[in-house]
Structure 1
């Protein structure tokens, strides 16, 4: 098993050394370029004035070496840029192990109405998304957000992603090279064929093109025939001049009209150039998993289509040179030919080009997930089943991976309501998020933070742990909580295989009313055979296990020891908590303040 930190440190050292060599080479090529440029110019001028063939030849050789030096200098600059980008990617990974996350944190995906993402820190600063995200495309970021926002994906999809991530995780250098590619900005392009009928009549233009080409070839043929036979050249030259003149008028007429196509073509070329490094990287590697093979096949197809686009753009580059434009259009109507070719290409391929963004985005998101797996060698691949709910051994919080996390064994059965009691800060809320986050990770195909983990692939997730009031909307904390519980019930009725995770329900009312409401709520959940994990301070609800049996309700607790300081074990056990710490902590605080005040008065 490769230690990820040691791997990144080795890559950092290796590429620092490579960069030093390349920078030294850059200096030498810069000096060589100046010397050869000056030498070639001097030798050519000196040879011209002295009429020396040797000096002229030396000047030509120096000029060729100068051109080669310019090419090597540019190539070396590209290598330096790539090396720096790889170093940046490696340094970002090393920062990750220090708890510094440099990528986009997904704050735009935060939604308080989502069934679970808002409550368990999926998006936002230091969130799960923030820790996993290595995407370099906007479509990749959206796809990663989609992965983390959906559970109950089904056994087939999860196993397929597991196999894909397992293969990617082992391609360490490939992962680094992908992450070193410049971030690609989203291009605002209409991925539908434009209607050019108001500018171009394709049939008419195609006819004119064919007729012009036929007449042109015929004229040249007649011209050479007359020249060979010694006949008059006036008529063929006249016809040739006429067709060149007509072609010139047609090309001039469509010069401005073609700007709409030129603009669209430039946008597509820009998109093509931005995706070129990803396409090149992923078409030069051999994949084994079906998902990656399908992605590679799609990229190869797009590579061919984009090559055709690039060729059209190169020909349209003749517009930048007046002489080239005049010759190519008066003789061959090149602009018109390219316009017709592009319109046909657009109808055939443009809708498919939209799929390129989705394909690259999907791969981009998978690489982020694979990097997460590689960075967590102690995590395990969960076992995916089609019955039960969840069961795990030594399950720990994904955010505590690089600290001394305390794991817990836990099993949640179908149609069971698990009631967790414990003092403040004993670990109840952290445990609830531990379960929820590992369920999310398992559904993405990622490894989970546990010694072993079993998950029913059809289980959905709904949480209520972070309810907020809304003064502007006139909604109190209690109203917001009731709305959330109502949403939970509606969600459960629609999705029977849902695990509900609640943290201290009905906090916005008095203790007696809260207890009665909580008991009625849990009885309703039991009647509907909902799967529920609930953390609460209300010890009264724990009597439900004794009253209805452990096949419906089951009690767990996080216990503490009321010593000075208080000892928190953060381990879950069967039963009901016995110790409370609120009054104990308040009394200790008051004792400290009284002692401090007495000391001040004595002085």
Structure 2
């Protein structure tokens, strides 16, 4: 399916849902009218009963109208919930259509995840406006956002389990990509919680709950037996007071004693629990909805068995906690609270229920939130996979060395304007790329890096073919000064190169991407420093691509042809500058700075 067809499909779904929304809102008006009519009719019959003699039938009709009001009200609430769900789903489809038009504003750009010292994230536009994260992100939780950021920045690298890890992610992404309707429901449900699910708040609140000191008596067997006996005793005395000469004062005082004993023992612990639980209400509801969707039978093949089992356990525990929070909310009804404690010792059993939940589930809570976050991130990756049918799955090599071969490799951000190029580089090789300004060197370097990040995240790549091994990645393309800390541009460059050398020593098989080494010094010093740096790097277990304007660096191929190879982005000069954006073997012959400057000065 082409991008235009996808956009048409998304807009068609959005239109259908918009039409359904109109019908549901019209139905809502009928429900409101029915509620008003039944309620007014009920009041009318009650008033009629007070004015007519021997008009019992009016009370029966009032009761029927009340029942009708309750039924209509319930349908109205259900219809309101459906209106909200349909509107969220319509918005989700509309957002995807906007994405295909190049509008990413409905999605978070992940700028908060940016780290200037990360080995490659800043240079490859992983975070920020119109970044890779901005294009991928459909997460509905802060934990999912963090997991997605980790998928894009924590590459498996050159480790024994790297290939298996990538393939596991790819299988899950492919399965989820095929479940387009399910994914849209997941994304839409996440929109129901303003700002998404705050996973950090969930985890921190439950950590605080673990520190809540609640007396352990409620979890013991003896108090439980006494409580049960007290309830049985109350109802036994109530029965005897009704059907025998036993005084009614006995069950009354029994209930009063039950109420005050429970309030005395349980009020303080429940106040402490409520402070924690009340913070969780909105997050818990959203989590239960998403977990219910994830653990459906249709999803069992999409997620690995361990993750599915974890999430099923999480759903059960989250539902139990949600019920406890709902019970705490109902305590605000003072009259109901009095009767519930007098008759059933409800606060005692509520404390006991929370203690048992705390003992059984609290230690797994952080792990469950993490599992939900990973599933959330996988939905985003699968949506990107579905939205780009023009991509191909790369072949992941289980090789003990660097391998990067690609045919018609294109930058993911450029769409149909992208010019494809081939690349073939292996262990220990360095490509020296020369070319004029704006000829395509930096774009090509980022194209190489971003497509590798996609491959390691389990996603398809923008190429006709691609074969890569699992290796580490480091880039230096956007060095900036830091006047606040007294770091000049040149000093910042040196610090980045020092970080690169240390990284390569600690991470054998690193692929490096460099754009203009030592820009912050004079030409001769820059050339000598660049030659020294590259000659040193060629002795390390690394490979890479280096873009430069220093044509003298191309002589490294003559000195060491097994390590260095020259490539270029050539331009043609005539009445204007012609850019091909095609990489070819050799050294660039034409430059455009003087040519373009002359045109400006003549203007």
Normalised to the residue count of structure 1, the TM-score between the two structures is 0.91
1:28 lines up with 2:21 in the alignment: no
Residue 478 (structure 1) shift: 1.0
Distance 1:308 1:85 in 2: 27
1:250 lines up with 2:265 in the alignment: no
Moved more, 502-511 or 82-91: 82-91
Moved more, 468-477 or 159-168: 468-477
Alignment of 1:80-95 (within 5 A): 80-95=83-98
Distance 1:527 1:201 in 2: 65
Distance 1:280 1:472 in 2: 50
Shift of the 226–7 alpha-carbon distance from structure 1 to 2, 3 Å rule, reads closer
CA contact (8 A) 1:150 1:440 kept: no
1:338 is matched with: 350
2:174 is matched with: 166
Alignment of 1:86-125 (within 5 A): 86-102=89-105, 103-125=107-129
Moved more, 240-249 or 408-417: 240-249
* Alignment equivalent of 2:374, drawn from 359, 362, 367: 362
* Alignment equivalent of 1:512, drawn from 520, 524, 538: 524
Residue 462 (structure 1) shift: 0.2
* Alignment equivalent of 2:585, drawn from 559, 568, 574: 574
Shift of the 305–415 alpha-carbon distance from structure 1 to 2, 3 Å rule, reads same
1:190 lines up with 2:212 in the alignment: no
For the residue of structure 2 that corresponds to 1:392, the secondary structure is strand
Moved more, 508-517 or 439-448: 508-517
Distance 2:235 2:102 in 1: 74
Residue 438 (structure 1) shift: 0.3
Larger Rg: 1
1:148 is matched with: 152
Shift of the 370–474 alpha-carbon distance from structure 1 to 2, 3 Å rule, reads same
Moved more, 263-272 or 28-37: 263-272
- Alignment size in residue pairs: 584
Shift of the 221–91 alpha-carbon distance from structure 1 to 2, 3 Å rule, reads closer
Moved more, 515-524 or 266-275: 266-275
Residue 320 (structure 1) shift: 2.9
Residue 157 (structure 1) shift: 0.8
Distance 2:145 2:118 in 1: 18
Distance 2:80 2:308 in 1: 29
For the residue of structure 2 that corresponds to 1:527, the secondary structure is coil
1:200 lines up with 2:223 in the alignment: no
**Aligned CA-pair RMSD:** 2.4
Distance 2:116 2:211 in 1: 42
2:439 is matched with: 426
Residue 239 (structure 1) shift: 6.6
CA contact (8 A) 1:191 1:351 kept: no
1:487 lines up with 2:490 in the alignment: no
For the residue of structure 2 that corresponds to 1:347, the secondary structure is helix
For the residue of structure 1 that corresponds to 2:303, the secondary structure is helix
Distance 1:206 1:62 in 2: 48
Deviations along 1:262-316, one digit per CA (max 9) or x if unpaired, are 2223334443212122122223341254635444433322222233333334444
Alignment of 1:515-594 (within 5 A): 515-549=527-561, 551-590=562-601, 592-593=602-603
Distance 1:295 1:204 in 2: 31
Shift of the 223–454 alpha-carbon distance from structure 1 to 2, 3 Å rule, reads closer
Normalised to the residue count of structure 2, the TM-score between the two structures is 0.91
1:211 lines up with 2:226 in the alignment: yes
CA contact (8 A) 2:287 2:318 kept: no
Shift of the 474–384 alpha-carbon distance from structure 1 to 2, 3 Å rule, reads same
Distance 1:19 1:297 in 2: 36
Alignment of 1:320-399 (within 5 A): 320-387=332-399, 388-399=402-413
CA contact (8 A) 2:431 2:565 kept: yes
Deviations along 1:426-472, one digit per CA (max 9) or x if unpaired, are 10000000000001111111111111111102x11000001111222
CA contact (8 A) 2:219 2:356 kept: no
Distance 2:339 2:241 in 1: 24
Structure 2: which 5+ residue stretches go unaligned? none
Residue 225 (structure 1) shift: 7.5
1:601 is matched with: none
Shift of the 239–455 alpha-carbon distance from structure 1 to 2, 3 Å rule, reads same
Shift of the 419–283 alpha-carbon distance from structure 1 to 2, 3 Å rule, reads same
2:331 is matched with: 319
Distance 1:225 1:246 in 2: 18
Structure 1: which 5+ residue stretches go unaligned? 594-603
Moved more, 509-518 or 114-123: 509-518
